[in-house]
């Protein structure tokens, strides 16, 4: 599964730590700026990850800040 994450506050390291907390395996990850206040992170998770862990990961990203988004791409 591939996700595009727009984060208001946080970093690439925060996403990696969150994935580790949810026992998710990352295949690839990249970061790019949107503007001074937001960053865009594209993450590809391995197919072996459990669906409930992925759902929990997405919800956790959105709970970090109300301006964060996480969409499947």
Which tens digits make up the pLDDT trace of 7-24? 987 788 989 999 999 999
**CATH fold of 2-67, please?**
Alpha-Beta Plaits (3.30.70)
Each residue of 26-69: pLDDT tens digit? 999 999 888 888 999 999 999 989 989 999 999 999 998 888 99
Question: CA 51 to CA 44: how far, in whole Å?
Answer: 14
* Spans of all domains in the chain: 2-67
Q: Which helix (H) or strand (E) segment is 62 a member of?
A: helix 51-64
pLDDT at 46: 93
Global pTM value: 0.83
């Amino acid at each position: 599964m591939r996700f595009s994450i727009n984060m208001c506050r946080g970093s690439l390291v925060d996403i990696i730590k969150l994935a580790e907390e949810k026992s998710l395996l990352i295949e690839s990850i990249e970061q790019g700026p949107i503007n001074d206040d937001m960053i865009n992170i594209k993450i590809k998770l391995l197919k072996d990850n459990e669906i409930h862990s992925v759902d929990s990961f997405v919800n956790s990203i959105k709970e970090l800040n109300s301006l964060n988004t996480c969409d499947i791409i």
